Amino acid sequence: MLAQRPPMGWNSWNTFGWQISEDLIVHTADQMKESGLLDAGYEYLVIDDCWALKQRNESGRLVPDPIKFPNGMKAVSDYVHSKGLKFGMYSCAGTMTCGGYPSSLEHEFIDAKTFAGWGVDFLKYDYCYKPQNIPGHILYKRMGMALKNSGRDILFSACNWGSDECDKWIRSSGAHMYRSTGDIQDNWQSIKNIALSRMDKECYSAPYCYDDMDMLVVGMYGKGNVALGGCSTEEYKTHFSLWCMMDSPLMIGCDIRNMNEDVRTILMNKELIALNQDPEGRASYRLTQWNNPEVTILIKPMSDGSFGIGFFNFSDSDAEGSLQFWDMGLETSSGYSLSLRDLWEHEEAGVYKENYTCRLKAHACKVFRAKLV
Ligand code: GAL
């Protein structure tokens, strides 16, 4: 069964936009394998918008652009699979994709068959140019039905940006993950807005259908298609920690052929990924500090009885993070303390009774795995 855990992979859009090609995909596949990203869990390699010719062929099928993909999609898919990766593609529920290419409206079943024939394992399904006369949920239900009956297991990644109150119905369309916000940009304000907009909505994300807070911008440093400003390494750490703690799919968006050491360290932080990939898939709940509402504490219940605990400073100045254990249900009279392990420093941070307090730089975070002792 697909999407038992939040899907992980790489997507071409954030950095490359329309500038995609077989060459890029082949080298990215090589790099996913050689860099250790695949071993860390990143298994889907997804080609986003702008891969097709503007016209379908005479049998009504989508055709890959022969300049970008001279050997067709089956060849690309075979290469991706030969590296032990899974292959993802993109289409749209409206009359055209957002980039102006042919979409799957009224072609859902034939397109699902085409994708299955190319060995596609993942379909991102966008929402641009949606016709007025058909409710959006029907369009996602149609494609969900078409994919399930395509003869291949294809993970369905819905992308209607959280519109039409999709939290309420998208799971029943068959979607395995669904975009709940507008497009991310490579800057702090965008990361902050997306994260805050998805707080207190943890009930909507669970195994087999996860809340997708959009692709990661970690490592873009202001270069590429959505690179509007860039972030510091510290901000990328906070971004990655939030996406892990909130059970978002982890889809890398930077150019992994040129990752620096900081970026590798962030994307391959196995202790943080373990929070995200916990089998029970319980997304974090929020505690707000009464004395500083811009410091958010997230608590993620893990299947082994431990907790992920994250302190996030959304403010523009240094701040204190302080957790009273009583606020997460742990009373002093229980006799328990919390033993904290720092998941960025990869070391034990001590045993605490009743509360824990730390200092956080602007836009920074601390994330712990906490065990009752
Ligand atoms: C947007 C979508 C982006 C990207 C883009 C392609 O609607 O949110 O993630 O897929 O379309 O044109």
* pLDDT tens-digit series, residues 51-82: 999 999 999 999 999 999 999 999 999 999 99
Q: In what order do the strands lie in the sheet with 307-313?
A: 285-289, 292-301, 307-313, 365-372, 338-342, 347-352
pLDDT of 47 reads 98
Nearest residue (by CA) to ligand 1, atom 6, is 49
pLDDT of 102 reads 98
Q: At what angle do helices 22-34 and 72-82 cross, to 10 degrees?
A: 10
Overall size of the chain counted in residues? 373
d(CA 308, CA 162): 26
Please give the average per-residue pLDDT across 92-107, as a whole number: 98
Percentage of the chain modeled with pLDDT above 90: 98
Q: What is the pTM of this model?
A: 0.98
CB-ligand 1 contact for 98 (6 Å cutoff): yes
- Angle among Cα 93, 96, 97 to the nearest 5 degrees reads 75
**Ligand 1 closest atom vs CA 127:** 7
DSSP letter (8 states) at residue 202: G
pLDDT of 288 reads 86
> Shortest CA distance to 216 belongs to which of 235, 239, 197?
239
Nearest residue (by CA) to ligand 1, atom 3, is 183
Kindly give the distance from the C-alpha atom of residue 21 to the centroid of ligand 1, in angstroms, as a whole number.
Answer: 18
pLDDT of 291 reads 79
Bridge pairing between strands 292-301 and 285-289 = antiparallel
Measured torsion, CA atoms of residues 255, 261, 267, 270, in degrees rounded to the nearest 10: 150
Residue 289: strand pairing partners: 292
Q: Is pLDDT of 107 > 90?
A: yes
CB-ligand 1 contact for 48 (6 Å cutoff): yes
pLDDT of 339 reads 98
Please give the average per-residue pLDDT across 171-188, as a whole number: 98
Residues involved in catalysis: 126, 183
Residues 6 or more apart whose CB falls under 8 angstroms from that of 280 comprise: 207, 301, 302, 303
Q: How many CB atoms within 10 Å of residue 74?
A: 14
d(CA 209, CA 4): 8
Rounded to the nearest integer, the mean pLDDT of the chain is: 97
**Which residue of 159, 166, 212 sits with most ligand 1 atoms within 8 Å of its CB, as the best mutation to test the pocket?**
159
Report in angstroms the alpha-carbon separations of 113 from 117, 139, 216, 259: 6, 17, 30, 36
> What counts of helices (H) and strands (E) characterise the chain?
10, 16
> Shortest CA distance to 127 belongs to which of 146, 109, 103?
103
d(CA 12, CA 24): 9
Residue 96, helix vs strand vs coil: strand
DSSP letter (8 states) at residue 327: G
> Shortest CA distance to 101 belongs to which of 161, 56, 143?
56
Q: Is pLDDT of 289 > 90?
A: no
